[in-house]
Structure 1
């Protein structure tokens, strides 16, 4: 074999070996890409894709349970942040219809939710997710021995009610109407937490608030049930808002609220199933 032929043969062998190595590397790279692509696809197609802030406007009585669910949501979806605006449902509805940036609205009554739906600000039909009923919150130990709604009337204990424009105030009026009683409170408060706080601070002897708020207050107040509360049960609807800045995350939060896990948190707080 001539020197030129041997040189040509060695060149072919080197090229062949190089090509084989490149093919092997390509195969490894392809396998690796395929594996990472599958994982990325699962991630992007799953819940972990969610990110950003979700603004939730919710009735004051949902403060404790929704705060727990917000923490759980952020754990389940790293990269998300749940920001709550708790308050009277009427003022929240007014804010939404005035253009306040919100993704989700959870109201303490269908009436206040209707303000939002009538303004065409809701996306789809709101769904009732829990119910709540009233209790009498008294000072610890119930020193005035309040046992019924009638005990709140007359010149007896100083009583606080929610304003009639908010769901807890409307429910209180409904219970009073059902019992045929009249009650003159020392003050009307803007939401249920404000009414309860008057008793906690001993500025009032009793307040008509939700059962869930009495439970959340622990030993700071004592709860007294009364039969007329059955005539004033409030349905709580929730909806994604039409102009939600982060609709995908908002919808995911609603799904958590309505899930078995969400129902467990809410029933532990004293709410009942719809």
Structure 2
């Protein structure tokens, strides 16, 4: 075990001379290491790409993701689900993790995100602004309030003075987007990044009030993580040049 720790520490701290520093241990075969990352649903596209890039640099590391609503992820961690890193779509749920003494070290902010209105491609309800979401007969789908996108949606509605009465409340932003794409809803409030990822499957409608409600995304290592500095290395990758470039391309703002 001691030899393994020394080898992994060298891998994580330097850009080794060999393309695969693990290949130089003939006496004991190198061990594949799995890093488990619990991440907000809105991070799926960007983090999947970041995970692939991280794996390409650390050849014997496999990054395994669990994407869901941030509040659901915190609950899973509190109930003992094994995870090494937690990336939340807001500081509120990270604070829950902090209060529950789940972190190994401190959290780092790595991205921001704002909301936008999503409608089906034909926009059957002719939605043009946030105020239209309060009109009678409009089928609106939102995230549940305990989920970051739901908390943000509530704040946006309050700032706009709009009484939005959703026909459905979902546990992740991807579920909201799915109902809009399928035509089950006339509109939904989702992140700008989700609209960008959806491409021409939906129409995105910007509204100025969204600028007043910005979600900040923090990431942290969890207690009982795989160790050897691997969780910290992943976090540094996310907050570093390569990770930030992927996030920016996906539409996330700087922290």
Q: Shorter chain as normaliser: what TM range? A: 0.7 to 0.9
Tell whether 2:211 aligns with 1:230.
Answer: yes
Look up the match of 2:82: 101
Do the aligned partners of residues 251 and 154 (structure 1) sit closer, same or farther apart at CA in structure 2, a change above 3 Å counting?
Answer: same
Q: CA deviation at 1:43?
A: 5.9
1:183 pairs, out of 143, 164, 181, with 164
Aligned to 1:120: 101
Alpha-carbon deviation of 1:44? 8.6
Give distance in 1, aligned partners of 2:83 and 2:12: 25
CA contact (8 A) 1:140 1:220 kept: yes
Describe the shift of the 1:131–1:247 C-alpha distance in structure 2 as closer, same or farther (beyond 3 A). farther
Q: Relative to 1, partners in 2 of residues 1:247 and 1:46: Cα closer, same or farther, differing over 3 Å?
A: same
Structure 2 portions without partners, runs of 5+: 1-8, 16-20, 23-30
Q: 1:247 to 1:104 in 2, by over 3 A?
A: farther
Q: If the length of structure 1 is used for normalisation, what is the TM-score?
A: 0.81
Quote the residue 1:86 is aligned against.
Answer: 67
Partners in 1 of 2:99 and 2:232 — Cα distance? Answer: 21
The structure richer in helix per residue is 1
Q: CA contact under 8 A between 2:11 and 2:58: conserved in structure 1? A: no
In the alignment, the residues of structure 2 paired with residue 89 and residue 200 of structure 1 have an alpha-carbon distance, to the nearest angstrom, of: 22
Partner of 2:14: 46
2:44 aligned with 1:59? no
Q: How many residues align?
A: 234
Mark the CA change 1:241 to 1:131 in structure 2 (over 3 Å): closer, same or farther.
Answer: same
Map 1:78-227 to 2 at 5 A: 78-227=59-208
Aligned 8 A contact 1:51 1:249 in 2 = no
Q: CA deviation at 1:227?
A: 1.1
Q: Give how far 1:124 is off.
A: 1.5
8 Å Cα contact 1:101-1:245 kept in structure 2: no
The residue number in structure 2 matching 1:251 is 232
Q: Select the structure of larger CA radius of gyration.
A: 1
Cα separation, partners in 2 of 1:88 and 1:45, compared to 1, 3 Å: closer
Give the root-mean-square deviation of aligned CA atoms: 1.8
Secondary structure in structure 2 of the residue aligned to 1:255: helix
> Does structure 2 retain, via aligned residues, the 8 Å contact 1:240–1:247?
no
Say if 1:89 and 1:167, in contact at 8 Å, map to a contact too.
Answer: yes
What secondary structure does 1:124 align onto?
Answer: coil
